[in-house]
Structure 1
Amino acid sequence: MDVDANSFDLPGFTPPVPVRLTKDITKEQLLGFPAFKTWAKTIKSSLALQYTEAEHPFKNDPYTLWSVTVQSVDYFGGTRIGFVKMSADVRNKEGYLPGIAFLRGGSVGMLMILRPSDYKNERWVVMTEQARIPAGSLRFMEIPAGMMDKHGTFAGAAAIEIKEETGIEVKEDDLVNLTELALAEAGVSEPLQQAMYPSPGGSDEYIAIFLWEKVLDRQEIEDLRDKLTGLRSRGERITIRLLDYEELWKVGARDAKTLAAWSLYEALRRARHNKLPNERIY
């Protein structure tokens, strides 16, 4: 039952979970925000497992979500919700769980490996260099990446981001979802996204890592070097860098998604005898 314009009960939860809002977001906006919808669905499923799994660690003293407080909201372009900071009150008889969360939703990262047609054992990785103000950097090196919007699928989002950040148009069928392959072999049963969570202690962000590996003429590869790209309407100023694959792990020492892409690619190739879907053995 709604208490006032700044409070309502979260649908589908028993006992009722009151949600307290700031003045700059409405009930309809919050419930329509994809990141919040995913979070609410996931926490509800995770809490339910306490009662259905015989070996669940909290079966004898289950946790309950008692309330959610939205603390701040950031908008993109003045109308579309970009980020929500909130606090969730999750407690059992023994105490509470840390519940401050920065909601931003899903992202995609793309490992783009190019092999020159005149020497296919040579591998170059397409990297982006751009300003990342939260990290205090004006030239942060990373694999191409972008937030999920309303693309419907991880692959659709990845294909769009590759085109926007590099100018390369790819088919969704040419993309290999590395995180999905790894999780299928891990047999994880948690009701989470088929992606990796780089900072689950404070953020809901999840990133699906894709591979796109192609043989191109050497000149096509060289034409990408130091190319300027990015959507100016979003404040993007991106420079394409080509990195020798053997140096990729060094960049990954700073950027989590780059390290995840490198480690998944290496591990899956070893596990599958150097052969991934859509990949030739060179």
Structure 2
Amino acid sequence: MALRLLPQSSASSLASSQAKKLSSRRSLRRTICTAMSTESSSSQLPHTITLPSRPAEPVHIVAAPGVSSSDFRRVKKPCKRVVLTPPVEVEDSRVVNGETLRNAIESSLFKQWLKNTETGILANGAMSLAQVLIQGVDMFGKRVGFLKFKADVIDKETGKKVRVPVGRLVLELPAGMLDDDKGDFVGTAVREVEEEIGIRLNPKDMVDLTAFLDPSTGCRVFPSPGGCDEEISVFLYRGHVDKEVIMQLQGKETGLRERGELIVVHVVDYENLWRVTADAKTLVAIALYEMAKKRGLLPPC
């Protein structure tokens, strides 16, 4: 379960992000060329994809053992060269057939992720995409519906991996997963704010905005109930602090590097926050806060 925290509307309102907003770049026409060997079913089927902007950095794509191949027949003959949208090296495990892997690589989902990655986190040359592990492919008929994979994006300076779910940098609020089944939502929210922003909060001052929802909802928010059972709680913290103190947080690099977190704090005016983020959870937090304030449900500050 993920947690979100939303600051109060004020001159010193603070929003954190996991990255800086990227300047737009001229889109480039990309091609991905993949080739598949004719070796037997017990051997690996190599692929190669190379991003146009990084021809010297091949990306290895590997299918995880155990990925279902029941919907596909094994390829018995050489695969013709396929033109896609960026080029990488792919390896297929002996459990997964080549057709499954090729469907994943050629899907619009994967190509869009590659595009986001190339124009996003890889744009400044500080990181490289080393490998992609295909863990699962769900087909909707002949179309790839869901694609689960793990990407190894390496920070060239430190040699460590960073997490990049959407392939680009997104402005969002501090968030974290529950580490156990105890359900300590408040404690987790406070810990994440300290780790991701660098400030300490008093748990007693946290306001659970999702608690104002009708009991029939379970007082939780489902970001995408049609595709995932993830549920979140949204918290508000209100306090008074000098503007100079808040502005000192601008551009601060935080996050746990051992967990692959790459976070840059951004101070954003609350009135403009809804326009500068693509994070649905942030927008949900704003809506809950505004409605709770309108209904007079918020406790006195």
> Given the two structures, how large is their TM-score scaled by the length of structure 1?
0.52
How far apart are residue 114 of structure 1 and its match?
Answer: 7.3
2:178 aligned with 1:166, yes or no?
Answer: no
- How far, CA to CA, are the matches of 2:251 and 2:9 in structure 1? 15
Corresponding letter in the other structure for 1:142: E
Q: CA deviation at 1:129?
A: 2.7
Matches within 5 A, 1:164-203: 164-181=195-212, 183=213, 186-188=214-216, 192=218, 194-203=219-228
The answer (yes or no) to whether the contact 2:16–2:172 under 8 Å persists in 1 is yes
Give ranges in structure 1 of 5+ residues lacking alignment: 1-105, 116-121
CA contact (8 A) 2:206 2:237 kept: yes
Q: Residue 255 of structure 1 is aligned with which of 271, 279, 294?
A: 279
Rounded Cα–Cα distance in structure 1 between residues aligned with 2:16 and 2:8: 10
Instruction: Return the letter of the residue paired with 1:267.
Output: M
Describe how 1:1-282 pairs up with structure 2 within 5 A: 106-113=1-8, 115=10, 122-130=11-19, 133-137=164-168, 139-150=169-180, 152-181=183-212, 183=213, 186-188=214-216, 192=218, 194-252=219-277, 254-272=278-296, 276-277=298-299, 279-280=300-301
Q: Is the 8 A contact 2:220 2:232 kept in 1?
A: yes
The 8 Å contact of residues 12 and 241 in structure 2, kept in 1 or not, is answered as: no
Structure 2 residue runs of 5 or longer lacking an equivalent are: 20-120, 122-162
Partner SS state of residue 15, structure 2: strand
Cα distance, 1:113 vs. partner?
A: 3.5
Q: Write the deviation string for residues 105-161 of structure 1: whole angstroms up to 9, x where unpaired.
A: x1100112474xxxxxx2422221336622121x21011111111364111110111
Contact 1:114 1:124 (C-alpha < 8 Å) held by counterparts = yes
Describe the shift of the 1:135–1:204 C-alpha distance in structure 2 as closer, same or farther (beyond 3 A). same
TM-score by length of 2: 0.49
CA distance in structure 1 between the aligned counterparts of 2:262 and 2:215, rounded to whole angstroms = 40
CA RMSD, 1 decimal = 1.9
**Richer in strand (by share):** 1
User: Secondary structure, in 3 states, of the residue corresponding to 2:18?
Assistant: strand
Match for 2:17: what amino acid?
Answer: T
3-state SS of paired residue (1:125)? coil
* Count of residue pairs brought into register by the alignment: 158
Contact 1:146 1:158 in 2 (8 A): yes
Larger relative contact order, structure 1 or 2 (CA cutoff 8 Å, min sep 6):
2
